[in-house]
Structure 1
C-alpha cells in the first residue's frame, strides 16, 4: 500500500491557539529521522462574519477543507491512501469529501466526542464539533456542500468509537438518526478488542472500505495531554497502537485522519512523540 501524507495546521474549528503549530512540530521531528514526508498545506484566512457566533470561522474552514479535499482526491485517483494530519477535527470534512467523491466508504470516528452538532445544536459554535453531522448531510449548507454538493457518507456506514462526552442536544440527534456508537463504557465493560471487532464487523457487513478518523483526545489525557479538549478517562496508548496496527494490516483502509495534536498543552513532548509513532506505522 502506498500512502500520501498531508498536514493542515488549522485551528479555526476548535478556536484554540496551539493547534496551528502541530504540523511544524511533527515535520521537525520526522525530519530528524530523515522522514520528510508530510506535505504541509498553507492555511487560508477568509473574510468572516463575526456575528455568526454559532458557526465560527465558517468561511476559513470551508476554504481550507476544500484545499485538503483536492489534495486527498488527487491522491486517491493515483491509488494512494491519504493520511491527513491536523489541526482540528474539522479537517475531516475535507479529507473524507476528497475520498468519498471516488468511492463509497464507511467511517470509524475514534473520538472522545461525537462531533455531531450543527449550528442549531452547538453550545460553543466551534465547528470541530460538527464535521460528522455535516458529512452525513446535516447542518449548515456551506459545510454540507464542501468540495461537492450533498452528503458524503451514509449514516448506516458510520461508527463512533470510544466516545465519552456528548452535548445534550447532540446526543438526542445521534439517537434520532440511529448512528452506531461504541461508548468508552462499553469498552470498559466488554473489552477493547471485542468492541473494536464489533465496530468493524458492523461496517464491513455493508461496506468494504473504511476511513479511520482518529482524534487523539480519545486517549486518556493523563497519558497523552497535548490535546485541546481533554476528557477524563479514555483508551490507553497500547489500545491506540492496536487500532492503527489492525487497520494497516487489514485491506480495509481507504484513508486516515490523525487530528487535534496541540503542542501548547503537551508535556515533555509525549503527545508529539506518540503522534510521530502513529505516522511512522505507515512507513
Structure 2
C-alpha cells in the first residue's frame, strides 16, 4: 500500500510521516526538506499538475493538507482542489482531508476555505474522511496563530474555554484512518479539557519562568492592534470576528473522537507543556 502525504513538512505532516512508516510518500516543494524526512518523497507543487500526477502514481490513499489562509488570498482552495482532481484521475481509493472545526461555506478565513474544499471533495466521487481539529496546542510553542503584545497574550475570547488539541493526536488520528479507512465520515478532534486563555497564560508562565497574562480586548480594538502590527485591515477584522465567535463558547466542547480512532486518550495541555518545554521557552523569549 502507498500513502501520499501532502503538507508533509508541516507540524502535523512530520508526525504523520513518522507514524505511517514504509508505506509513506511525502509530497514536498523542497528537495532538501524532503530528504530530511527520511522517507520516499516527490518534489512538486500544488500548481503543477504534472508533479501531482507523478506523485499519485501507484498511490492508494492520500492525506490532504496544506498551508492555511494568508492575508488577501485563499490559495488553499485551488491548491487542494488540484490534489483532489489528481487523486480522482489516478483512481486513488481514499482521501483523508485535514480541515478545521466548524468549516462551512461562507465562513471567514480558514473556516470558509475548508468548507468549500470539503464540499468539493464530497462531490468528487472519491471515498473520503474529514478530520476537523480544534485549535492546535502547538500554536503556543511556535507562535503561529497566537497574538501577543509586550510578551503577553491578547485576544477577544472573553472567559470562554477552548479544547485545544495536540498535533501529535491529530497525526495519530490521521494515521489510524489511513490504515483503516472510515469512509464518508467526519471526526471532530479535541483535547480532553477546555481551558480559558487566562488559565493557558498561567500555565505558560510556569514553564517560561516569567509572568504571561491574557489581555482581553473588544473585537474592534483587537483588530486595530493587529492592523498596527502589520496585518491588512480586512484580514485583521476577520481574525477579530473569529475570535469573537470563540467567545460564544463554540470551541469549548470536547469529543471522544481521538480516543475512538487511536484507542488512547488525547493529551492534556499539561502533557503538551512537558513534552515541548524547550521550544515553548524559546518561542516566548521572542514574544
Calculate the TM-score normalised by the size of structure 2: 0.30
Higher-RCO chain (CA-CA 8 Å, sequence separation at least 6): 1
Calculate the TM-score normalised by the size of structure 1: 0.30
Between structure 1 and structure 2, the one with the greater Rg is: 2
